Structure 1
Amino acid sequence: MNSKAATKRTPRDLAMRALRVLLLLLALAFCAYSLVSQWDETVRAFEEMSWPTLAGALAAGLAALFAHMLGWRAFLTGLGSPLPIKAAFRIQSISQLGKYVPGKVWALVTQVELARTYHVPRIRSFSATLLAVATSSACGLAMAAATLPLTSDEARDRYWWLFLLAPVMVASLHPRIVTWCLDTALRLVRRPPLEHPVSLSATLRAVGWTVLGWVLFGVHTWLLCMAVGGDGPGLPFLATGAFTLAFVAGFLVFIAPGGIGAREAVLLVVLNPVLPAGTAIVVAIGSRVVLTVADLLNAGAATLIGRSTPRPESDESDGTDGNEPGGQELVPGTEPTKERS
């Protein structure tokens, strides 16, 4: 292939690249604002915690984010577009900065467009991301429903209606239900059905990685609770349930960037009765800052990986979205499949 043709960019490609850069700059600006706006509270919170504890919470947070990335990658593989771990990490880490921009669509838009640079059709990356979000929410609610009613009366009394959603959401992850929902949505927008129905094995792998991620987020929260004087044999379970419930609640608040405000409010409700007076807010703020730093570190590492990783031969598309008959998938390891009857 001619090298000039391989590097040729259409006006649409240049526009999408400019949009990704703009979203990245906006995300960094909102990250900076979220840190600066709570600077005094953050300093006071960190003064009550040791640096080894903060480092441990950061390590657990980084590991949790990596596990959730592997869950998204499992869905993408199951849909027919396997990606190397480095590529999946780069896409996920950079796109996740979009969650700091008000609204919940920017991370999704960025993730879909970044995946295109690895020749992942938009339909597949969009579907994998929706499945990952649904799985994360369902598993998070299920873990909160399993841990908090036994350890937190406040959470049980205030958020009982969310707990009722847990079994419904978990049941809705069955591959037949997922495939039917995705195919119905594609039919409504006049697109062909998925080439690769979501398999049970892909779903189980994604659920496994997602649950591991929530457990690691629980470790992150538990370390911060221990640092401010929390104790007791039920604290690890309470910390895990508190974080998963807070994260899901933050996600449901559409306009809040990164769930800011909503996540902290839920953590206060759940943790206030079991931590020394005035320390629950320290945990909430400490968690917010530590995980923001984790997102920034991941995005920085992903940028460096992008510089050292050879780009695909061409970013140009053949005009298909991966679902049309005859569409050819260019992701390494993916084979074309026959159209479903």
Structure 2
Amino acid sequence: MISKAVAMRILRVLLVVLALAFCAYSLVDQWDATVRAFEQMSVPTLLGSFAAGLAGLVGWMLSWRVFLAGLGSPLPLKAMYRINSISQLGKYVPGKVWALVTQMELAKEYDVPRPRSFGSTLLAMAASQGTGLAVAAVTLPLTSETARQRYWWLFLLAPLMLACLHPKVVTWAVNLLLKLARRDPLERPVRLGEMLLGSFLAVVGWAFFGVHLWLLCAAVGGDGPGLIFLATGAYALAFVAGFLVFIAPGGIGARETAMVLVLTPVLPAGAPIVVALASRVLLTIADLANAGLAVLIGGRPPKPDSGERSAEAPAEGNEPEPGTLVTGTQLSETKE
């Protein structure tokens, strides 16, 4: 019979393989349109946008690491990178739970209790979505009339989402969800310093994603001093809109629709869909590159060497017999 540990390992592998299959399908399905979109942009633009997207993902990883450490499980950078990069492929599987499940299972290898991993992921999601709405609410009303008219209700949610990031509110909400999932509550409440630092790193991530989209917009004819603010707000709004569509893997469709709507008034005809498609493909490649690099650099927990024996605790059955001289020790001098 397969042990529980082996079964969970098989489950982790299947989840990653399934995520890779959906990820590959999303790229192949739009291959011709992607090639046409990339032909309109220079290699330096694409590389710069790709690098900015990677930086945004790393900012969010660090935000999650802050929350996990605050709940009692600090992780080394390599371990954090491996767990988060691989688990993020789960967002390409329909439904929002697979990235969370994969992250919990990978974190278990580092002795992170599942309730703690679950809670830190919820905190990171709350910080990213709450600050994302705030970023959109600050930038878009000043730069996009279309966004104000179509997504005004999301802007109203921004103050509410930010208020919900208060440590007492967040601790209560996470414990409630853990109770519904029949898990133990958090061992310690969320502290203000952790929420501030985690939310700040989430905002840093949004800033890099804004640069990512701004470079693409500039490459297809967008200009003006307010373009970078519009691009940052457009990406934040589009990502949150895609996140709210539960069944769409990675927010596919909903994210592009919101992005095109916001960018249409400021870009040449046909350019917004090119930007949206290029952004999707570049960030998908960034997720794949992160996962691939995480596998290459390792970061797995150290495994004990079965060939080594501890001097303090010799293995059972290998203890010296009473009165037997143990080799390799120094004899004490005898008195004459």
Is residue 23 of structure 1 aligned with residue 54 of structure 2?
no
User: Could you say what secondary structure the match of 1:120 adopts?
Assistant: coil
Q: 1:72 aligns with which of 40, 64, 76?
A: 64
Q: How many residues align?
A: 305
Q: Distance in 1 between matches of 2:82 and 2:291?
A: 7
Aligned to 1:311: 302
Q: Distance in 1 between matches of 2:211 and 2:251?
A: 20
Is residue 43 of structure 1 aligned with residue 28 of structure 2?
no
How do residues 91-240 of structure 1 correspond to structure 2 at under 5 angstroms? 91-188=83-180, 191-240=183-232
RMSD: 1.6
Which entry has the higher C-alpha Rg, 1 or 2? 2
Q: Distance in 2 between matches of 1:68 and 1:183?
A: 23
Q: Distance in 2 between matches of 1:22 and 1:192?
A: 27
Q: Could you list the runs of 5+ residues in structure 2 that have no partner in the other structure?
A: 306-336
Q: Distance in 1 between matches of 2:284 and 2:73?
A: 29
**Aligned pair in 2 of structure 1 residues 102, 190: CA closer, same or farther (>3 Å)?**
closer
Q: 2:256 aligns with which of 252, 256, 264?
A: 264
Aligned to 2:275: 283
Write the letter of the residue equivalent to 2:293: A
Aligned to 2:331: none
Q: Distance in 2 between matches of 1:132 and 1:310?
A: 23
Q: Distance in 2 between matches of 1:141 and 1:188?
A: 27
User: Could you say what secondary structure the match of 2:234 adopts?
Assistant: helix
**Aligned pair in 2 of structure 1 residues 32, 193: CA closer, same or farther (>3 Å)?**
closer
TM-score (norm 2): 0.88
Q: Shift of the alpha carbon at 1:183?
A: 2.8
Q: Distance in 1 between matches of 2:142 and 2:267?
A: 16
Q: Distance in 2 between matches of 1:312 and 1:269?
A: 52
TM-score (norm 1): 0.87
* Paired residues of 1:73 and 1:83 also in contact (CA < 8 A): yes
* Paired residues of 1:118 and 1:312 also in contact (CA < 8 A): no
Q: Distance in 1 between matches of 2:128 and 2:247?
A: 19
Q: Shift of the alpha carbon at 1:190?
A: 5.6
Q: Shift of the alpha carbon at 1:275?
A: 0.4
Q: Shift of the alpha carbon at 1:305?
A: 1.9
Q: 1:202-235 CA distances to partner (integer Å, 9 max, x unpaired)?
A: 1111011100000000000000001101000110
Larger mean Cα displacement after TM superposition, 181-190 or 297-306: 181-190
**% identical aligned pairs:** 68
Q: Distance in 1 between matches of 2:21 and 2:177?
A: 35
* Paired residues of 1:117 and 1:312 also in contact (CA < 8 A): no
Higher RCO, 1 or 2 (CA under 8 Å, sep at least 6)?
Answer: 1
